[in-house]
Amino acid sequence: MNLVPNKQNTWWLDPFQEVETLQKEMNRLFYFSPVKSPEGDGQLLENYFKPAVDIYDNQNEIVVKADIPGLNKEEINVSVDDNILSIQGDKKYDKEVKRESFYRFERCYGKFIRSIELPKNVDSQKIAANYQNGVLEVKLPIKEEAQPKQIKVDVK
């Protein structure tokens, strides 16, 4: 929804667009669903942790980058099964800090899994992953036969 008034004539607004905008705002509101606190006291204070990802294609491979700060590489599991890339882990809460000591509690904790469907032309035998500075980078090579071939044509 716009905070700045729309300069269009108000009688020409599309009512379906307004409903769609309302639906998007409601979806955004409920995107972060509350889960149980790390102390298991039943309070609904935390947000579900879901790592943000970037996925792009650079002709020879598909690259997936996921932001997973605060974990060691041993705490992250990357697997491919039936053309589904799964990134799993558990971002644990620091139990040494008591709940009463917090002024603000905004970071997300808990088990997470991100599943990404891959195209059929990915060579799952040659996947490589690197984790550095809180960013997981997974490189998924495209099979040789699936890559487009360029043929030079001589014009006479």
**Domains in the chain, ordered, with CATH?**
51-146 (2.60.40.790)
| Tens of pLDDT, residues 79-137 | 998 889 999 998 887 777 777 777 777 777 788 899 999 888 888 888 999 999 999 99
Residues 6+ apart with CB under 8 A from 46: 34, 35, 36, 37, 38, 105, 108, 109, 110
- What is the pTM (predicted TM-score) of this model? 0.61
Given pLDDT bands bounded at 50, 70 and 90, which one contains residue 18?
confident
Locus of tokens 């490189």: 139
State how far the Cα of 33 lies from the Cα of 110, in Å rounded to an integer: 12
